[in-house]
Amino acid sequence: SKISVVHCFYFRGGAELLFDGVKKHQVTLPCQPEPWDIRNLLKWIKQNLLKERPELFMQGESVRPGILVLINEADWELMGELDYKLQDQDKVLFISTLHGG
């Protein structure tokens, strides 16, 4: 049987304002037959953590341009972006580089 995995998600640079100002979320994702990837994770975050204005965080099934995603402190572009399979204890950081408004 699959065990659920624990992850930390961090929101910075203003992104945390969409999540009730909470910068760190320690999350145990529900078990599912396939490993969690970032694509499914973003859907889950949108449904379970995002509190307001999803259009400022997501565009289509990805994060919108201007949101930097780091997986264990490495740019997600080096990790396969949406297809990256989450590992136990991964730290995923979302940093908004958009200011103003």
The pLDDT tens digits of the residues spanning 2-42 come to: 555 678 899 999 999 999 999 999 988 888 888 899 999 99
Q: What is the value of pTM for the model shown?
A: 0.88
What is the Cβ-side half-sphere exposure of residue 68, based on CA atoms within 13 angstroms? 12
Closest to 54 in 3D by CA, of 40, 41, 64: 64
Domain 4-94 in CATH: superfamily?
Beta-grasp domain (3.10.20.30)
Structure-token pair, residue 19: 């999540």
Burial of 48 (0-12, 13-18, 19+ CB in 10 A): exposed
Q: Rounded to whole angstroms, how far apart are CA atoms 65 and 62?
A: 9
pLDDT in tens, 50-63: 999 999 999 999 99
Helix (H, G, I), strand (E, B), or coil: what is residue 74?
strand
Closest to 82 in 3D by CA, of 33, 31, 27, 45: 45
Domain map (residue ranges) of the chain? 4-94
